[in-house]
């Protein structure tokens, strides 16, 4: 059921991105950019934006630019994450990673171009939001992606390799590396729904917790998952000396931590009352996912 929903949403975002890129001037980076962002990946961040939109009864046409922008940032982070100077992975989404297919320099530039494309997509005239909302969303996305978000988290992830770190330090790093983009997904829907500052922060916090849960599930996949289903190498965290919850408290305790985190997220969502079923289903999928 949820798998079908993910596929349906992924197709919508792919169509949007193809259309958007087709309207732009052609360049030789379009092909590696498309390779990195279209026809691959779960596009679960977009589904979470649509699910959050349901809570506020928002129409999908008001959300689609935000979804496409998030997927550009996410794919950019994966392209760069796979580079030899980062996690050095040759396989992504069941295909050679972008630098393996197009070369390192092109992969760096395609990643950078996806980053800037995200902001073009949000500020586009055809995006139905007000300029005020676009500005607030651009500011939030930049904040969640840069040194206070994904990039900052990635820096710590690399620095923490083969170091002894506390539970608190690892959770903080994972909340930035992975959680901040999920924070953006929920908070941007609250911005579009014109919610109060308090509510926007409340939803952002839930997003960050969902992101942490997503990262924990990713760590479980690395330990126990199948390379074929995940479409990327598994069993590499231990070899690389990655600091994860599993590395410091063990698999059993990390599983308990994740289960309790999921309970906390669902309880918080319940507090918000109606229309949270879709997001609840997606959160349940996250912890059990095999890909």
- Positions that interact with ligand GRG (CB under 6 A): 41-42, 44, 73-74, 76-78, 80-81, 86, 93, 145, 150-151, 154, 177-178, 214-215, 218
Closer to ligand GRG by CB, 153 or 202: give it: 153
- 36: nearest Cα among 76, 83, 89: 76
- 138: nearest Cα among 199, 66, 78: 66
**Number of neighbouring beta carbons within 10 Å of residue 127:** 20
**Residue where the block lists tokens 């649509």:** 50
Spell out a b/e string for 61-80, using b for 16 or more CB atoms within 10 Å of the CB, else e.
ebbbbbbbbbbbbbbbbbbb
Relative orientation angle of helices 167-174 and 245-271, to the nearest 10 degrees:
60
What is the nearest approach in angstroms of ligand GRG to the Cβ of residue 164? 22
Closer to ligand GRG by CB, 31 or 112: give it: 112
What is the nearest approach in angstroms of ligand GRG to the Cβ of residue 108? 11
Q: Cβ-closest residue to ligand GRG? A: 41
**Cα–Cα distance for residue pair 146/153, rounded to 1 Å:** 9
Closer to ligand GRG by CB, 77 or 187: give it: 77
What is the nearest approach in angstroms of ligand GRG to the Cβ of residue 175? 11
Closer to ligand GRG by CB, 206 or 217: give it: 217
Strand 95-96 to 91-92 pairing: antiparallel
Cα three-residue angle 73-174-143, rounded to 5 degrees: 45
Closer to ligand GRG by CB, 42 or 195: give it: 42
Q: Are 227 and 234 in contact (CB under 8 A)?
A: yes
What is the nearest approach in angstroms of ligand GRG to the Cβ of residue 196? 29
Q: Are 47 and 161 in contact (CB under 8 A)?
A: no
Closer to ligand GRG by CB, 86 or 248: give it: 86
What is the nearest approach in angstroms of ligand GRG to the Cβ of residue 68? 13
What is the nearest approach in angstroms of ligand GRG to the Cβ of residue 277? 22
């Amino acid at each position: 059921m949820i798998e079908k929903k993910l596929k349906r949403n992924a197709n919508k975002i792919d169509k949007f991105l193809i259309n958007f890129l087709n309207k732009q001037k052609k360049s030789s980076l379009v092909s590696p950019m498309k390779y990195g962002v279209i026809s691959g990946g779960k596009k679960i961040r977009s589904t979470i934006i649509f699910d959050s939109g349901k809570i506020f009864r928002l129409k999908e046409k008001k959300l689609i630019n935000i979804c496409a922008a998030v997927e550009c940032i996410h794919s950019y982070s994966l392209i760069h994450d796979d580079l030899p100077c980062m996690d050095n992975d040759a396989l992504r989404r069941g295909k050679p990673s972008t630098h393996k297919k197009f070369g390192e320099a092109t992969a760096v530039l395609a990643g950078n171009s996806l980053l800037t494309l995200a902001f073009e997509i949000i500020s586009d005239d055809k995006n139905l939001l007000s300029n005020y909302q676009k500005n607030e969303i651009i500011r939030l996305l930049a904040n969640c992606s840069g040194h206070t978000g994904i990039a900052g988290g990635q820096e710590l992830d690399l620095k923490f390799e083969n170091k002894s770190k506390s539970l608190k330090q690892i959770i903080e790093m994972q909340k930035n590396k992975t959680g901040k983009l999920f924070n953006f997904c929920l908070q941007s829907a609250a911005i579009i729904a014109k919610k109060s500052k308090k509510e926007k922060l409340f939803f952002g916090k839930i997003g960050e917790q969902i992101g942490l849960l997503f990262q924990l599930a990713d760590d479980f996949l690395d330990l126990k998952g199948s390379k074929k289903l995940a479409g990327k190498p598994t069993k590499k965290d231990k070899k690389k000396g990655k600091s994860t919850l599993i590395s410091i408290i063990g698999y059993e305790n990390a599983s308990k931590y994740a289960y309790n985190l999921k309970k906390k997220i669902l309880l918080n969502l319940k507090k918000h009352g109606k229309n949270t079923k879709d997001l609840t289903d997606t959160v349940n999928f996250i912890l059990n996912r095999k890909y």
